[in-house]
C-alpha cells in the first residue's frame, strides 16, 4: 500500500468535490489518499453532494494504521469561508499552503507521492503571491534544476519542452542543451516509471511543416535536428523534427511513439486533451518524488454540484501509486 498526499486545490473549485467523489465513498483502494484541505469544507461539500463519508483527521498515522475506506483529511484552516464557484484572493494563501505542505512532506518521505487538484493562477497572483504554475513551483520546492511536464493517457503521452510562458518567449528556450536535457529526462522516465525498455520519442518541429527545409524558419535545421542526430549516435530512438500538424497521425507508420515532445504548451496539449479528456494524467518528470495531477481546471460552475467528474483524479492517484512502487 502507498500513502498519497492529495492537495485539494482552489477551495472554491471542484477540487474538494472530486476528492470526495473519488476517495470518500468507502471504496477499497490499493493506496491510501490523504486529502490536504479544511475538514469543515469537506463536510460542507459532502452535504452538498449528498455523500456520506467517514471523515477522519489525519495526524501522521503510518500506512498500517490507515483504512482506505475512510476519507482522511490533513486539516488546514481556510482564511475565509469558501463559497462554491466564487474564488477568493483571501484563500489564495490557503491554496498555496496545502500545496506546499503536501510537497514538502512527500520530500520528507511521510508520503509516497503527491497528487494535485486544480488551482487558479490568476487568483493566486492577484493575491500578491507570484505563481507561474505547479510544475515550476515543484522544481523550486524540491531544488530540482530541470523538470518536464508530460500528459499521459492509456494510448498517448505528450511532453513539453516549454510550459507556462508566453509564445513570444518560446524561441529563446529552443536551444541544444534544453532539448537534450528534456529528452534525457523523458527517456529515463519512460524506462523507469513506465517500464518501456527501448522507448521511442517523436520530436515536433517549432515552425509550420517543421521549417520546410529552412524556408519557414531555421530552428529545426540549426538546433533541433543536430540534437536528434547526436542522440541517435548514442543508440537512442529519437525521430524528428516532425511537422506538428501530422506528427500524431501514426496510422500506417512502422514505428509508434512511446512519447511525443512538443516545443510549446498549446502545440501538443490540444491533441491529447481533445482525444482523451477526463482520462489524462499530468506527470512531472525529473523530480526526486512522484507527482501527478488532473488534466482539467477549477470548473467553478460545477463546484458544489454533483456534475464534477472525478475520473482524472482517480487516474492520477492510480498512476502515482503504481509509479511510487517502482
pLDDT of residue 254: 78
Identify how many contiguous H helices and E strands the chain contains and give both numbers: 10, 12
pLDDT confidence band for 148 (50 / 70 / 90): very high
- Segment 1-20 mean pLDDT: 97
Name residue 162's beta-bridge partners: none
pLDDT confidence band for 251 (50 / 70 / 90): confident
CB neighbourhood size of 292 (10 A): 26
Of 75, 6, 73, residue with least CA distance to 292: 6
CA atoms within 13 A on the CB side of 116: 31
pLDDT confidence band for 26 (50 / 70 / 90): confident
CA distance 222 to 39: 55
The 10s digit of each residue's pLDDT in 257-299 is 999 999 999 999 999 999 878 789 999 999 999 999 998 999 9
pLDDT confidence band for 244 (50 / 70 / 90): very high
Helix, strand, or coil (residue 83): strand
pLDDT of residue 307: 94
With beta carbons less than 8 A apart as the criterion, state whether 42 and 33 touch.
no
- Find the range with the poorest average confidence among 90-99, 157-166, 275-284: 275-284
**Domain 145-284 adopts which CATH fold?**
Isopropylmalate Dehydrogenase (3.40.718)
Backbone dihedral angles phi then psi of residue 59, each to the nearest 5 degrees:
-140, 40
pLDDT of residue 279: 82
pLDDT confidence band for 87 (50 / 70 / 90): very high
Domain boundary assignment for the chain: 1-144+287-326, 145-284
Residue 98 CB burial class (10 angstroms; 0-12, 13-18, ≥19):
buried
CA angle 79, 7, 80 (to 5 degrees): 10
**For the chain, what percent of residues have pLDDT higher than 70?**
100
Helix extents (H) in 194-289: 219, 225-232, 265-276
pLDDT of residue 154: 85
pTM over 0.85: yes
Residue 310, pLDDT > 90, answer yes
pLDDT of residue 91: 97
All three cell numbers of 92: 489564495
Asked if 1-144+287-326 and 145-284 have one fold, the answer is yes
- Segment 38-64 mean pLDDT: 95
CA distance 49 to 39: 15
Name residue 57's beta-bridge partners: 73
Helix, strand, or coil (residue 225): helix
Query: Which residues lie below 8 Å from residue 234, measured CB to CB, with a gap of 6+?
Result: none
- Strands annotated E in 2-63: 2-7, 31-37, 55-57
Helix, strand, or coil (residue 242): strand
- Segment 135-146 mean pLDDT: 94
What is the rounded average pLDDT for all residues in the chain? 94
Residue 27, pLDDT > 80, answer no
With cell 511525443, the residue in question is: 260
The CATH homologous superfamily of the domain defined by 1-144+287-326: Isopropylmalate Dehydrogenase (3.40.718.10)
Q: Residue 142: left if φ>0, alpha if ψ -120 to 50, beta else—which one? A: alpha
pLDDT of residue 67: 80
pLDDT of residue 299: 96
All three cell numbers of 263: 516545443
Amino acid at each position: 500500500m502507498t500513502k498519497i498526499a492529495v492537495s485539494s486545490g482552489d477551495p472554491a473549485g471542484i477540487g474538494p468535490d472530486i476528492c470526495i467523489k473519488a476517495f470518500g465513498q468507502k471504496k477499497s483502494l490499493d493506496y491510501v489518499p490523504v486529502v490536504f484541505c479544511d475538514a469543515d469544507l469537506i463536510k460542507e461539500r459532502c452535504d452538498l453532494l449528498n455523500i456520506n463519508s467517514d471523515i477522519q483527521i489525519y495526524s501522521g498515522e503510518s500506512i498500517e494504521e490507515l483504512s482506505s475506506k475512510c476519507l482522511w483529511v490533513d486539516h488546514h484552516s481556510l482564511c475565509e469561508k469558501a463559497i462554491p464557484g466564487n474564488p477568493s484572493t483571501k484563500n489564495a494563501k490557503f491554496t498555496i499552503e496545502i500545496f506546499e505542505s503536501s510537497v514538502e512532506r512527500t520530500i520528507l518521505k511521510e508520503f509516497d507521492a503527491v497528487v494535485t487538484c486544480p488551482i487558479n493562477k490568476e487568483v493566486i497572483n492577484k493575491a500578491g503571491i507570484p505563481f507561474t504554475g505547479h510544475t515550476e513551483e515543484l522544481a523550486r520546492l524540491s531544488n530540482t534544476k530541470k523538470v518536464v511536464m508530460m500528459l499521459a493517457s492509456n494510448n498517448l503521452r505528450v511532453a513539453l519542452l516549454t510550459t507556462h510562458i508566453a509564445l513570444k518567449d518560446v524561441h529563446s528556450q529552443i536551444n541544444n542543451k534544453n532539448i537534450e536535457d528534456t529528452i534525457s529526462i523523458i527517456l529515463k522516465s519512460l524506462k523507469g516509471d513506465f517500464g518501456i525498455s527501448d522507448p521511442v520519442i517523436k520530436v515536433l518541429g517549432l515552425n509550420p511543416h517543421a521549417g520546410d527545409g529552412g524556408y519557414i524558419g531555421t530552428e529545426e535545421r540549426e538546433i533541433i535536428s543536430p540534437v536528434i542526430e547526436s542522440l541517435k549516435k548514442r543508440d537512442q530512438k529519437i525521430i524528428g523534427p516532425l511537422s506538428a500538424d501530422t506528427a500524431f497521425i501514426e496510422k500506417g507508420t512502422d514505428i509508434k511513439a512511446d512519447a511525443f515532445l512538443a516545443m510549446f504548451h498549446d502545440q501538443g496539449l490540444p491533441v491529447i486533451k481533445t482525444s482523451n479528456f477526463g482520462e489524462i494524467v499530468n506527470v512531472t518528470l525529473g523530480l526526486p518524488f512522484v507527482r501527478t495531477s488532473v488534466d482539467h481546471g477549477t470548473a467553478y460552475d460545477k463546484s458544489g454540484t454533483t456534475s464534477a467528474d472525478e475520473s482524472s483524479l482517480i487516474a492520477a492517484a492510480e498512476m502515482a501509486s503504481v509509479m511510487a512502487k517502482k
